[in-house]
Amino acid sequence: MKDFTNWIIYNRGFVEWTAENYCRSLKLFDEYLKKNSLWKKGVNTPEKITLNDVNMFIKLERVKWKTATTCNNYLAWIKAYMKYNAVIWKEVFDYRRILTIREHQKKIDALTDDEAKNLINYFKSVPCETNREELIKTRNLLICRMLVYTGLRVGELSNLKIEDIKEELQIIWKWWIRRVVYLFKDDLDLIDLYLFLRKDNCPYLFVNHSTNYPPKKLSTVSIESIIREWWRKIWIEVFPHKLRHTFATNLLRNWAKLPYIQQLMGHSNIQTTQTYLSVLNTDVRGAQELMTRY
């Protein structure tokens, strides 16, 4: 697994947190093999894994009500693992025979303008009696604003370092390709306030502020947990990728061009960006009214 992780990072150009997701899902497949195949036919090397093992694993996950998207992610990661084994000259089955599940058009789940406004305004009503509470409130507001106004993925947010903060925020996302999103004055002012309130030397922008442990980088799981807490308090369904969707739909509603949105979102294929057009059905008439009539 360690060799495979190094291969997808250094040979395939994936970032570290993506590699971690690959390995986490492959461990699910490994657990399935140990429970269902290992005792039957000794599946303890990649060469003994069959296409039927892969298909039965996915069938079992579908029975557990896993979505087609989730199962296709599992298939992509297993396929990458089998490809890696073929590259290093192991006699594994042809990974190209792994077929993905047909998916319906994805429904884009984003906050409405009112919900986004209520979420941002929620932090104004949070009472603070100590400096630590003020620090945590400022950090959480900054997390919220960064996700809503830059469209960063939660892994990208977690890995931001203080030295990265400039007006042009450069993010390495895939294949060592950099994309740029922009921070404006109110964003930079809030970052300055947060750093002023902090009393630690951790190089990462977002850290935990526990009284029992030294400051360390907030993991993606910790950020997701913080956001779920907002959900319980303001009764608005919110999670990191929903805020990313909100960023994209906000741009679309303000008539930003698709290639610009693709660049800001870091989509390698513009067809991914085009899926956001489905949320603008109510705005189609307005778009047509903008045309020049002769």
Q: What is the average per-residue pLDDT within 72-81?
A: 91
Q: Six-digit token pair at 3?
A: 């060799």
Question: How confident is residue 148, by pLDDT bands cut at 50, 70 and 90?
Answer: very high
Helix (H) or strand (E) holding 177: strand 177-182
Our answer to whether residue 241 is catalytic in this structure is yes
Catalytic residue from among 153, 194, 242, 245: 153
Catalytic residue from among 32, 81, 149, 276: 276
SS3 43: coil
Residue 161 pLDDT > 80: yes
Task: Provide CB contacts within 8 A for 38, sequence distance 6+.
Answer: 44
Q: How far apart are CA 76 and CA 82, in angstroms?
A: 10
Low-confidence winner among 149-153, 184-188, 283-287 (lowest mean pLDDT)? 283-287
CA angle 4, 266, 77 (to 5 degrees): 25
- List the end-to-end C-alpha distance of the chain, in Å, as a whole number: 64
Q: Which residues pair with 170 in a beta bridge?
A: 180
* Predicted local distance difference test score (pLDDT) of residue 285: 65
Catalytic residue from among 34, 174, 216, 233: 174
In the chain, the domains with their CATH numbers are 2-97 (1.10.150), 113-280 (1.10.443.10)
User: Could you identify the residue written with the tokens 């992780």?
Assistant: 5
Whole-prediction pTM:
0.74
Q: What is the average per-residue pLDDT within 40-53?
A: 78
Q: How far apart are CA 117 and CA 277, in angstroms?
A: 22
What would the pLDDT profile of 7-16 be if each residue is shown by its tens digit?
888 887 777 7
* Predicted local distance difference test score (pLDDT) of residue 8: 83
Catalytic residue from among 24, 241, 257, 260: 241
Burial 192-231 (b: 16+ CB within 10 A, else e): eebeebbeeeeebbbbbbeeeeeeebbbbebbbebbeebe
Our answer to whether residue 174 is catalytic in this structure is yes
Q: What is the average per-residue pLDDT within 201-218?
A: 87
Residue 291 pLDDT > 80: no
Catalytic residue from among 139, 242, 244, 245: 244
* 187 touches 167 (CB < 8 A): no
Residue 41 pLDDT > 70: no
The three state secondary structure string of 23-34 is HHHHHHHHHHHH
Percent above pLDDT 90 for the chain: 26
Our answer to whether residue 209 is catalytic in this structure is no
> How many angstroms from the chain centroid is the CA of residue 39?
37
User: Could you identify the residue written with the tokens 């073929």?
Assistant: 86
* 115 touches 139 (CB < 8 A): no
Our answer to whether residue 145 is catalytic in this structure is no
Better-scored residue on pLDDT, 135 or 282: 135
SS3 179: strand
